[in-house]
Amino acid sequence: MGKHLMSGVGRGFPTRHKGPGQNPQGRDAYVVDIGGGLMVTAAAFVGPWALQRTIRDHLHGQHGTLQGQAIFTATGSMHLSYEEIGTLTLESGAQLEAKRRYFWAFTPDIVIVTFEDGRPFHQFTPVGHAVGTDHPCGDDFYTVRYDFTAWPQWRAVWTVKGPRKNYVSTSLYTPAPSRT
């Protein structure tokens, strides 16, 4: 039987997975116990998240940090728009504005992530330590691992390798202060 991403559907039942400063109606109310772990539902992601990212470029020896915000907006039943905006600061002190947008579609077992133009990006199951599908992009290869074990704080770690790329990008998402 499939795992369901909607609270109270199928094998899952609503579970309070408390994080610091969370209230019962907060994001933690949308985590479902599926017997093998806690699965995060679409509704739990909706709203603003504080975003901190570190980028370690092993090929060029450069490192950077991004401070910003990610916002998930419901765009339909079990569909979310993901938009992030922030400032990337390089070791040299140079600062760049960063912005990106994806779409997340929740199915009973997986989340399918697409680029803004609808091209497939990757997919994953939002439970525990989740390995996403790999994404080839020309000569480059992207691999993602998610970590939902400290919900409502979560991480995405991208490893990117190719002839001109060799870096690790680690993003930490925490509930934005307006949500706690």
What residue spans define the domains of the chain?
A: 13-179
In the predicted structure, residue 162 carries a pLDDT above the cut 50 = yes
User: Does residue 176 or residue 8 have the better pLDDT?
Assistant: 176
Answer whether residue 19 shows pLDDT above 60.
no
Residue 39's pLDDT is 80
Mean pLDDT over 143-156 rounds to 94
By the 10 Å C-beta count (0-12 exposed, 13-18 middle, 19+ buried), 105 is classed as middle
Residue 78 token pair: 């079990």
DSSP-H helix ranges across the chain: 42-45
The 3-state DSSP class for residue 19 equals coil
CA distances from 56 to 59, 61, 63, 145 (A): 9, 8, 5, 16
Q: What CATH number labels 13-179? A: 2.40.128.20
Burial class (CB in 10 A: 0-12, 13-18, 19+), 92: exposed
Computed over every residue of the chain, the mean pLDDT equals 82
CA pair distance 163, 131, nearest whole angstrom? 24
Q: What is the pLDDT of residue 7?
A: 30
Q: Rounded to the nearest 10 degrees, how much is the dihedral formed by the CA atoms of 100, 98, 149, 57?
A: 120
- For the ranges 13-27, 41-55, 113-127, 153-167, the lowest mean pLDDT is seen at 13-27
